[in-house]
Amino acid sequence: MKEGINNPKLIFEERKAIILFLWLFNLLYYSFEIFYFYIRPKLNKKVNPFDTNEVGLGVWLYILIFCLLPIAIYFFKKGNPYVVKYIYIIGYIGIDIIDNLMKYLGTTDSFGSGNIVEVLFILFCPIFVNNKYFWVVSLGMIGKELLLGLILQDLNVLIPTVIYVILSVIAYILVIRFNSYIQTLTTVYEELRQKEKLAVIGQMAAAIGHEIRNPLSSLKGFTQLQQERYPNTNDYYPIMIQEIDRINSIVNDLMYIGKPRVIKFEKASIEEIIAYTLSITQQQAERQGVIVETIMAGPLPPLDCDDKQLKQVFINLIKNAIEAMPEGGRIEIRVKVLEKRTLSVSIQDEGCGIADENILNLGEPFFTTKTDGTGLGLMVTDQIIKDHRGAMKIKSIIDKGTRVIVTLPILQIDK
Ligand code: ADP
Ligand code: MG
């Protein structure tokens, strides 16, 4: 909550709570005093000298308590409204201790403490929704009673102490409930904002991507033409074409964010999809000394899917596996049918693994640990798998390797 404390809306809430508190405090405090010391003795003929307010601070008690008000108003208007509640609680406890010591120290009279506002202090804590303030009030009030009991050697303080402990427990429950509500609201708000941000990025990305694709395809066409026309002049043509393809695939990934997708489910062979994927990634694997092994369990049924999109999924996953092993290694792809008509594809590498603190960020757009990564691959992959009503699980051990398991339903019901 600390960061938000200067938020004008929160300051406004604090001010509302303070105004309510100041009204209630002053009304209750003075009505109680008037009733206790002026009205009650008139109804009750027998008056104990300690039931009058002539001992102790006497009229100074009221003047001092009243002085808290201008100080509070000053901070309320000029300085920091958050300190007003502390001024009251600390001021009140201080003045009350002095008053009681002056009343009872050196006398044998039994201690009769308290004003109804002490109950108000504790029960009113939750409206400030602040844990620290709660502890100051409840420990302050209980501490005050115990301190007076100790100095005055009087067991009468036990009654208010027990009452304050019980009230503190109730107030504490309210404080933590309020805090937890506010925290939940904040998270919901953050999630919404994140979603809105994504939607805006998605629209922008789709619009820009669309504009980039056309010039890009003519650029590629002319580069190929140039290469055919002057085959012996330049070694850079393949690199140029490769880089254009790279831009193209990034643009395609970008266009995937936030865009409603239409999926055309058709029967396709998973063997073919994997074979195609491997043919695309083969070059990169060979360059890095990565060996890919595929293990298919028995004859596999045709899969209801959008094969172009599933190819994209496995290209992304295998590329990630290759990129995780710059020094070479082995990738094992296992495909099998699970019961309940589900196909499972597991891709296991021996690469660098994923640190625990990064696991939660996987699949978030633009999250990448690579210098030339886009952080879009897993997001697109995850989306496509979800569109196929499948699931993706990632298990990783740092420096040992990563296993990604994709499960897909073999039949889509509402085709
Ligand atoms: P990119 O590959 O562009 O970084 P991805 O969305 O494909 O974006 O992956 C996001 C991040 O997840 C990567 O930067 C990497 O840190 C981590 N990651 C994904 N797959 C693997 C893997 N097989 N091994 C280790 N880290 C991985
Ligand atoms: Mg990737």
Average pLDDT over residues 55-80: 86
Residues 352/358/361/367 CA torsion (nearest 10 deg) = -60
Number of structural domains in the chain: 3
pLDDT > 70? residue 280: yes
Q: Which residues line ligand 1 (CB under 6 A)?
A: 316, 320-321, 324, 349, 351-354, 362, 367-370, 373-379, 402
Domain coverage including residue 18: 8-190
Question: 316 alpha carbon to ligand 2 midpoint, in Å?
Answer: 5
- Candidate ranges 260-269, 280-289, 317-326, 355-364; pick with highest mean pLDDT: 317-326
Q: Are strands 342-348 and 329-338 parallel, antiparallel or unpaired?
A: antiparallel
CATH code, domain carrying 392: 3.30.565.10
> Does the pLDDT value for residue 82 go beyond 60?
yes
Q: Which of the ligands is closest to the CA of residue 346?
A: 1
Q: How far is CA 304 from the centre of its chain?
A: 38
Residue 415 lies in a domain: no
DSSP string, 161-182: HHHHHHHHHHHHHHHHHHHHHH
Co-location of 168 and 62 in the same domain: yes
Task: Determine the atom of ligand 1 nearest the C-alpha atom of 347.
Answer: 23
> Does 237 reside within a domain?
yes
373 in the same domain as 330: yes
270 in the same domain as 253: no
Q: Find the 370 Cα to ligand 2 centroid distance in Å.
A: 9
Shared domain for 220 and 361, answered yes or no, is no
> What are the tens digits of pLDDT across the range 184-236?
998 898 888 877 877 787 778 778 888 888 899 899 999 989 888 887 776 78
Q: Cα angle at 261 between 215 and 301, to 5 degrees? A: 115
From the CA of 188, how far away is ligand 1's center (Å)?
Answer: 28
Looking at 167, 190, 213, the residue that finishes a domain is 190
Task: Return the C-alpha torsion angle 320, 324, 328, 333, nearest 10.
Answer: -50
- Whether residues 314 and 281 fall in one domain: yes
Which of 296, 298, 305, 351 lies closest to 329, judged by CA? 351
Mark which of 133, 166, 190 sits at the end of a domain.
190
Do residue 251 and residue 270 come from a single domain?
no
SS3 394: strand
Residue pair 305/388 in contact (Cβ under 8 Å)? The answer is yes
User: What residue has token string 């953050």?
Assistant: 190
Q: What is the pLDDT of residue 260?
A: 65
Residue 353 CA, closest ligand 1 atom number: 25
381 CA to centre of ligand 2 in angstroms: 9
Q: Looking at the structure, do residues 272 and 130 belong to the same domain, yes or no?
A: no
Query: What is the best residue among 313, 378, 385, 404 to mutate for testing ligand 1's pocket, by most ligand atoms within 8 Å of CB?
Result: 378
* Same-domain pairing of 66 and 90: yes
**pLDDT band (50, 70, 90) for residue 1:** very low
Does pLDDT of 160 surpass 50?
A: yes
Residue 1 domain-assigned (yes or no): no
Q: Residue 137 domain-assigned?
A: yes
For ligand 1, the distance from its centroid to the CA atom of residue 355, given in whole angstroms, is: 11
Tell me the per-residue pLDDT of 92-115, one tens digit each, with 9 for 90 and over: 999 999 988 888 887 777 777 677
Quick one: 240 and 354 in the same domain?
no
Using one digit for the tens of pLDDT, what is the confidence trace for 3-54?
456 678 888 888 999 999 999 999 999 898 888 877 877 777 655 555 555 6
Token reading at 266: 């058709």
Q: For residue 363, which atom of ligand 1 is closest to its CA?
A: 6
Range 65-70 average pLDDT? 92
Give me the residues paired with residue 292 across strands.
Answer: 331
Task: Specify if 414 maps to a domain.
Answer: no
Mean pLDDT of the chain: 87
The Å distance, Cα 290 to ligand 2 centre, comes to: 16
Question: For 347-386, how does the pLDDT look when each residue is reduced to its tens digit (9 = 90+)?
Answer: 999 999 999 989 988 888 788 999 888 888 998 899 899 9
Residues 122 and 249 in one domain: no
Last residue in a domain, options 190, 221, 249? 190
Pocket test for ligand 1, best of 368, 381, 382, 404 (most atoms within 8 A of CB): 368
